[in-house]
Chains A and B, each alone.
Chain A
Amino acid sequence: MTNPFEDADGTYLALINDEGQYSLWPGFAEIPAGWSVAHAEDTRQACLDHINENWTDMRPKSLIDATS
């Protein structure tokens, strides 16, 4: 069975949480609590591109806040 994160033909979302962390997410699945849509339903690659462009600092936001 194809892993839901590895379906080249599937549609995906890019999700983001309060720590500024991103998650690829299959379009069919319910969005878990604490996550919001950063990039609406699109191809897998487009979602990954969005994440690559926008996730500039991989440190969790609470760490950035505590140490800046």
Chain B
Amino acid sequence: MTPKSQLEDVLPLAPLQQGLFFHALLDAEADVYTAQLVLDLEGPLDAGALKASAATLLRRHANLRAGFRQRKEGTPVQVVHREVKLPWEELDLSGGGDVEEILERERTTPFDMARPPLLRFVLIRTGEQRHKLVFTNHHILLDGWSTPVLTTELFALYLNRGSDAGLPRVTPYKNYLVWLTRQDRDAAQDAWRTALSGVDEPTLIAPGAGEATGGPERIRIELSAAVTSALTAQARAHGATLSTALQLAWGLVLGRLTGRDDVVFGGVVSGRPPELPGVEQMIGLFINTLPVRVRLRPADTVGQTLNRLQADQADLMSHHHVGMAEIQRLAGVGNLFDTITVLENYPFDPDAASTDLGGVRVTGGGGHDATHYPLALAAVPGETLSLRLDYRPDLFTADEAAMLAERLRRALELIATEPGTLLGRAGLLDDDERRTVVESFNDTSTDRIGPQTITERFAAQVASTPDAVAIRAEGISISYAELEARANRLAHRLIALGVGMETPVAMLLRRSPEVIVASLGILKAGGYYVPIHHSYPPERMAWVMAETGAPVLLTDTTMLDHAFEHGAQVLMVDGPCAGPATDPGLAVHPDQLAYEIFTSGSTGVPKGVGTSHRAVVGFATDTTVLVGSERVLMAAPHAFDASTYEMWTPLLSGGTVVVAPPGDLDADVLVRLVAAEKVTGAFLTTMLFNLIAARTPEAFRGMRALHTGGEAGSSRTMLAVADACPDTLVLHVYGPTETTTYVTSLPVRDQLTESGRAAPIGRPLDDTRAYVLDGNLLPVATGVAGELYIAGAGLARGYLNRRALTAERFVACPFGAPGERMYRTGDLVRWDSGGILEYLDRADFQVKVRGFRIELGEIETALTRHEDVAHAAVIAREDRPGDRRLVGYVVGADLDPAELRRYLGESLPEYMVPAVLVVLDGLPMNASGKLDRRALPAPDFAAAAVGRDPRGPEENALADLFAQVLGLERVGADDGFFDLGGDSILAIQLVTRARQAGLDISPRDVFTHQTVEALVAAVTAPEEARAEVGFETLLPIHPLGDRAPLFFFPPAVGLSWGYFIFPPLMGADQPIYGLQVPGYREGEAMAASIDELATSYIEHLKKVQPQGPYHLAGWSLGGEIAFEVACRLQAEGDEVGLLALIDSYHGQDLTMPESEILPDLLMGLGLDPDLLRGMEPDPEQAARTVLRILRERGDGLAAMDESTAIAAYQNYRNARTLAMGYRPGRYRGDMVFFTALGGRTPESATPQGNWGPHLDGRIEEYQIDAPHHQLMSPESAAEIAGVLTGALDKLR
């Protein structure tokens, strides 16, 4: 007789079972889905009967005997075993012992999903006639609704001493699984698709949180009986269930927490289909977690929203059986949510079963149930609604969780007591939280006194210090009295020309003392100045003149070649100016305009911001801004409002303006000027700041204050400068033109901590207030993203002549004095708990690129004005970290990007012309028919650079720098810098780097010569540098940056040129050096051993970095050298940080076919190995071909004489000898290893097998899907760079 099969049934999984099974597979060790029920039993217990009852339970319910497996093809199944042994344990702790410990042990011992039963019992005797029954099970077997059914049955069996005679037959769980298969899938999918349409992003409170590492913590709150009954009544009055009311409350909390008006979270439903007979008495897993979407329309009342939400839920009622995975696929935005709610309205109370169990009473019960979600809300209805919020302690502190729970309470109270409230007015912050963000963080009011106009303040200064130096420029000093006299003379001229109160006067001037004389003269005449940037194309200059109606244009002789249309009278300020030197004596009102500065406008034309004297005085006399106002550098263009700081802060406080030379400035000029003129205060754009900080952070040491800002700056760089200049107040500043120069500042030294994020923007200045508001104009809590609104001293009058636009952006302020306005910045920020603002993003389509504020709409409008452009979109891309650039996308017939860029240049300033224009067949749209900006492709920058290859070391070096600065892969020798998207700021970067590389060029050279070819021809590189470039032992691949350098060791060819691919991939502040073999330069012998190389290399790297930890990496043979260098460094007592081997193995049989040597050799030279495809295997022939290719390409190597060229091949062969003679020592530490997967065979060496015996540490292996010789291709290098950057970050 064959034994009866152990298998009783094989069944599919219910939707939530699938989810839990998946979760268990994913993380078997930390599976949180273990539920526990603990019953306290008092009285004379018959343990044997209880055990028999538990066994009967198992026998009766097939689904409790299920194990879970995957079929071969991946489908999960539950396998029901005919018989399983009851896991039953009895413990006696009556003499002492920790019950909690047992409970904990039971909860944390994982179940093996494949081995049923996924449950176990422990009966603990805790005292005389006292027991605890601990029932622990995997959630996949049972849901919360099943627990009371199960316990009732257990007790019934106990009364029967374990026999089920007389008990009703079990309705098997299988019936439900069968029911599931009969449901209309299509209808359900349609319903869910409709319910989630328009949800274009998930609602995540802890994005990127990763898996939970332990169980959650829990907070409980309880509503009063009065509120509970009011809540129930209101829910009923709006046709809603208590569960829906709870969901609305949670939706509100989430909306306020994420700053969103459309949120999704999980809601747990009972999942028991009412049409299934006996469903109420079934045990098993029926519940399902389904998305609940809550849309919060500010103009709807709480009651209306409740009603609408209930209707939404009703539509989905018959589709509760669909699995979450399927729904997420339908929604198409990945994980929809990371918080869930559940209302535990179990069919009956477990305590009800505690009647008479033959003298035993159930006196209490407890349970444990958990989820993996960062936040899970459970509510237990009753006379008083009790709520528990489970939170992951790795993501929330207890205080934060408590705050959330309180907000939830307020949301529920709001629904219960004020259902007529508009959602837009339903704030959830308590009084303290609100006071903190609205008042405490804005405690900035001062009682500064004195005149409120620039003119009066300046006059007072002239009276008190007439002989003090007001201006220093090109070695000349101008006193306050002299400046006063010159400005007065000009004012009289202007008045004579008809300038009077609030007359706009345009200025087109190069940087010079005249800019200050002119600005002051205009103000003295009662007018306001309108600076025009000299980079504006004529069309834009003409537009500004027409827009402002300025009757006078002040300019100088250097600007004469800027011809543009206007009807103004022209006054040359660098000519002689006669007239009385006395003050014209006009009264100026503080609210009169001082200047109008134009910024980019979204509708296609710029907008002019009009700023009053009062706003300027308020800013210029701020206590923080005033620090270092003794001698302030004037370096920004007059048309940018940094000029407000540079001119008026010193001049209204008796200081000196140090005027930098005209034109674009490079770092060297600035550093020299700061030292020569003992500058005490300066504002530097992020770019200039970074450039100087990277090389000479101590250059600012003599300064009292250094301001930087304009775009997201690196906290690391700022801290480095603060460290290098201990007596300098380094300020990170923020502010739009509409609020006068800056409105917030952060003293870097005291308040900045190093982080990977951009530096925070700090606190509001004197008499300035910052409000972070949500979409309802309600203040958000600390830590929550909202839009920044600014009120107080610096507010501009508005956009001149743009009334509607002004009323949209300068809006009524609900927080300040009656009738006050606030400016809506469009910047997304959040408060930290200490009242420091962190900048996050833009809320709209305004971007900052290289410090320039740009409305993308303005460029798009300009593009579509071209007759051939049908559609256009412009975005700022940051495809390389730290390199933000404009990219335009155009649709139309026969478009020529180069021609379009020229066209744009006619109407837009050069910084607004996108670096690259991409022609598309159509713009990508999202489901709702809107432009999907995220789907716009990354441009092929390289396509624009089509010129001839550079020749010779200088051209090659400069072309590399062109490419680095422009973010291109390659630049041809005759490609124009500006045609490839270069601009004046990039030109300065180019100059700075070129000088470091020994090419002495100036910004002017770049403008004049533009191409690599012309630049190299124009400048003569020093003779010795020319001989060196490319073959020096220590190759400065990217010598810039403030991190510890990374040293690369050469592959077999002996040159480290291939590593030039890394600088753009690893960020501008990661210095990279390559080491190279001797033997390329005349008279040098080839290396005799790796030992000898290591000795020489250690000397070189100590010159760059005197002390460890050293970071070392090498590809191919370079890995072995890196290993040897690492061992030697350790032996000498130095520390090694990173050791990374890129597909290197020692002791290999190196007699590989010659055909494989050549690709290797070419890659080592930074060339494309495919050039050799189909090449003959004869080595002599091959060597000659390589040389021919090098010649034809006009590559760096082509500049060598033939004997040196052959050296490349000889070095390559020599390297194989070196490798064969190498016996590795022993390295103490971990190793990062990159394995090339291409061409591997089962016999191929493994990193562990090859290096393991030589290592006291771990090998962290990364596999790269490419053959060995392709590892420096852009794709592979990008992967390698990512790992290296991550590893270096970890070491910092």
Contact = CB atoms under 8 A, between A and B. Distances in A.
Contact of B806 (A4, A28, A31, A58): A58
Nearest to A22: B807
A27 B299 contact: yes
8 contacts: A4-B424, A21-B821, A26-B777, A31-B812, A34-B819, A35-B818, A58-B610, A58-B800
Contacts of A59: 502, 591, 797
Nearest to A31: B812
B797 A60 contact: yes
B810 A23 contact: yes
Contacts of B800: 58
Given A10-B299, A15-B812, 19 more contacts: A1-B259, A1-B262, A1-B775, A2-B775, A4-B424, A4-B777, A11-B299, A22-B806, A23-B811, A24-B811, A28-B422, A32-B820, A33-B818, A34-B818, A34-B820, A35-B819, A48-B807, A55-B806, A60-B797
B36 interface: no
Contact of B298 (A4, A19, A31): A4
Contacts of A63: 589, 591-592
B808 A26 contact: no
B776 A4 contact: yes
A17 to B, nearest CB: 4
Contacts of A26: 298-299, 424, 777
B824 A3 contact: yes
B501 A4 contact: no
| A contacts with B: majority SS | loop
A34 B821 CA distance: 10
Interface of B: 259-262, 298-299, 422-425, 501-502, 589, 591-592, 610, 774-777, 787, 797-798, 800-801, 803-804, 806-815, 817-821, 824, 826, 843-844
A5 B501 CA distance: 34
Given A28-B298, A34-B818, A48-B804, A21 B424 contact: no
Contacts of A51: 803-804, 807
**Residue among B774, B777, B800, B812 with the highest chain A CB neighbour number at 10 A:** B812
B775 A4 contact: yes
Contacts of B777: 4, 26, 29
B530 to A, nearest CB: 16
Contacts of B774: 1
Nearest to A15: B812
A62 B591 contact: yes
B115 to A, nearest CB: 49
Nearest to B422: A28
B1223 to A, nearest CB: 65
| B contacts with A: majority SS | loop
Nearest to B591: A63
Given A58-B798, A60-B591, A28 B808 contact: no
Contacts of A25: 811-812
Nearest to A49: B804
Contacts of B775: 1-4
B812 A17 contact: yes
Nearest to B813: A32
A55 B797 CA distance: 13
Interface in A5-51: 5-6, 10-11, 14-15, 17-19, 21-35, 48-49, 51
Contacts of A66: 589, 591
A2 B787 contact: no
B1061 to A, nearest CB: 41
B202 to A, nearest CB: 15
A19 B1173 CA distance: 78
Given A28-B299, A29-B776, A58-B803, A3 B424 contact: no
B818 A5 contact: no
Contacts of A24: 804, 807-808, 811
B14 to A, nearest CB: 36
B736 to A, nearest CB: 15
Contact of A55 (B591, B776, B807, B808): B807
B591 A30 contact: no
Contact of A22 (B299, B803, B843): B803
Nearest to A56: B803
Nearest to A33: B818
A24 B806 CA distance: 9
B259 to A, nearest CB: 6
Contacts of A19: 819
B812 A2 contact: no
A12 B819 CA distance: 18
B162 to A, nearest CB: 60
B942 to A, nearest CB: 38
A21 to B, nearest CB: 6
A28 B778 CA distance: 12
B807 A30 contact: no
A51 B820 CA distance: 18
A67 B592 CA distance: 10
Contacts of B801: 58
Given A26-B424, A27-B299, A32-B812, A14 B807 contact: yes
B616 to A, nearest CB: 15
A5 B811 contact: yes
Contacts of B787: 3
A20 to B, nearest CB: 10
Nearest to B801: A58
B797 to A, nearest CB: 6
B424 A28 contact: yes
A3 B774 CA distance: 8
B814 A3 contact: no
B251 to A, nearest CB: 14
B492 to A, nearest CB: 21
B953 to A, nearest CB: 55
Nearest to B806: A58
Give me the 4 closest cross-chain CB pairs, A-B, nearest first.
A34-B818, A34-B819, A28-B424, A17-B819
Nearest to B298: A28
Contacts of A34: 812, 817-820
Given A3-B824, A23-B807, A18 B425 contact: no
B1206 to A, nearest CB: 67
A36 to B, nearest CB: 10
B804 A30 contact: no
A1 B261 contact: yes
A21 B803 CA distance: 9
B543 to A, nearest CB: 20
A20 B262 CA distance: 37
A67 B501 contact: yes
Contact of B812 (A6, A35, A48, A55): A35
Contacts of A35: 812, 818-819
Given A58-B797, A58-B806, A28 B592 contact: no
Nearest to B588: A67
Contacts of B259: 1
B819 A28 contact: no
A60 B298 CA distance: 32
A56 to B, nearest CB: 8
A5 B824 CA distance: 9
A26 B774 CA distance: 13
Contacts of A23: 807, 810-812, 821
Nearest to B800: A58
B813 to A, nearest CB: 6
B497 to A, nearest CB: 21
A6 to B, nearest CB: 8
A67 B589 contact: yes
A57 to B, nearest CB: 10
A46 to B, nearest CB: 11
A48 B776 contact: no
**Residue among A10, A19, A22, A26 with the highest chain B CB neighbour number at 10 A:** A22
B810 A21 contact: yes
Given A3-B824, A4-B775, A28-B298, A48 B808 contact: yes
A30 B426 CA distance: 11
A60 B591 CA distance: 8
Contacts of A10: 299
Contacts of A28: 298-299, 422-425, 776
